[in-house]
Amino acid sequence: MKLLITGASGLLGLNLALETHRAHQVTGAVHRTRLQGAPFPVLQADLTQPGAVARLFAEAKPDWVIHTAALANLEDCERNPDLAQRLNTEVPAILARACRKGGARLLHVSTDAVFDGTKGNYTETDSPNPLGVYARTKLAGEQAVLAEEAAAIVARVNLFGFSPTGNRSLAEFFLYNLLTGHPVKGFTDVFFCPLLVNHIAEIFVEMLQKDLHGLYHVFAAECVSKYEFGVRIARLFGLDERLIAPISVHDFGLLARRAPDLRMNTHKLSTALGHALPTLSPMLRRFYTLYQQGYPQKLKEYLI
């Protein structure tokens, strides 16, 4: 299977490429953040520019495109709504159109943030209500993809893991601050169901092999508050959990509004795959093992 992975220097994209390149023919696409010494071919492209997608397809000749690239920082989206619109809405539509015309299939990565978090246990049939620019542009991207190509997969995710820059996931935030004895805050009233990026790679491949299409919730089978998530990391690594101060999200002064209850229902996907999605404990243990094996440093060495 020939895979073209956009955002291949990012948290999800790089881990996805590294997890899949041995069994599949992987090409990574990057924009500003380049890679060196990656064990898969890397192409540079600004997907917002005319002809960029066509050139990628001509070189990679993909069977599947996994689109992970996005403007994902919520505060940056609030400050740059036009850029968020281009990257999170318009580029996915261009890719979906190119896949439909070129005979490739698309897995487009979206987010749980399309919901307002007022009730939790969200299914794929629940009506989204995005709270900010990031969420609105990602929801519009979902809609644009499925309007262009009904056979595409839209995978809503929430994730954690190691990134090449070391600062892209909540798990890294807790771990690296606690390792240096730096006090941090954890939201007690924001709930989420994150998957380790390395597990997401395995699940995505299953979804491709089963030839799924449409909208799926790709989340852990277990949900926690962000405060509890930090505490569990502290305990696993033998660090001082007292450095994590419990706080309400309403007291933090964030520019972009956060949805409080993003507990997600994964029944549709678990039924399609024939097994339950993983819980947090085994994923956190793997996160710990990756750290012990020097995996974060390996990722950083790929950056130019």
C-alpha span between 225 and 77 (Å, rounded): 24
Q: What is the pLDDT of residue 301?
A: 94
Q: What is the pLDDT of residue 43?
A: 95
**pTM value?**
0.94
Strand pairing category for 224-225 and 25-30: unpaired
In the chain, % of residues over pLDDT 90: 90
What is the phi/psi pair of residue 274, to 5°? Answer: 85, 15
Region 132-160 average pLDDT: 96
Q: What is the pLDDT of residue 102?
A: 87
**pLDDT tens digits for 160-219?**
999 999 888 999 999 999 999 999 999 999 999 999 999 999 999 999 999 999 999 999
Region 244-250 average pLDDT: 91
C-alpha span between 134 and 205 (Å, rounded): 26
Q: Which helix (H) or strand (E) holds 174?
A: helix 170-179
**Which residues are within 8 A (CB) of 267 and not within 5 positions of it... i.e. 6 or more apart?**
123
**pLDDT tens digits for 149-170?**
999 999 999 999 999 998 889 9
The number of CA neighbours under 13 Å toward the Cβ of 84 is: 19
Q: What is the pLDDT of residue 255?
A: 59
**Residue in 137, 28, 18, 122 with CA at minimum distance from that of residue 84:** 137
Region 132-161 average pLDDT: 96
Q: What is the pLDDT of residue 74?
A: 86
> Residue 256 — very low, low, confident or very high, per pLDDT cuts 50/70/90?
low
- Separation in Å, CA 4 to CA 16, 69, 96, 209: 11, 12, 13, 15
Q: Within 10 Å of residue 225's Cβ, how many Cβ atoms?
A: 18
Marked catalytic residue, from 122, 134, 216, 227: 134
**pLDDT tens digits for 108-121?**
999 999 999 999 99
**pLDDT at residue 253 is higher than 80:** no
Region 58-86 average pLDDT: 93
> Residue 32 — very low, low, confident or very high, per pLDDT cuts 50/70/90?
confident
Q: What is the pLDDT of residue 73?
A: 87
The helix/strand/coil state of 13 is: helix
Q: What is the pLDDT of residue 168?
A: 86
- Separation in Å, CA 274 to CA 104, 270, 277: 25, 6, 10
Region 23-37 average pLDDT: 92
**pLDDT at residue 34 is higher than 90:** no
Q: What angle do CA 264, 152, 128 make, to 5 degrees?
A: 35
- Separation in Å, CA 155 to CA 177, 180, 230: 31, 35, 25
Q: What is the pLDDT of residue 264?
A: 97
Average of per-residue pLDDT values in the chain: 94
> Residue 300 — very low, low, confident or very high, per pLDDT cuts 50/70/90?
very high
CATH class of 2-166+194-222+265-281: alpha beta
Region 283-291 average pLDDT: 98
Instruction: Tell me, yes or no, if 302 is annotated catalytic.
Output: no
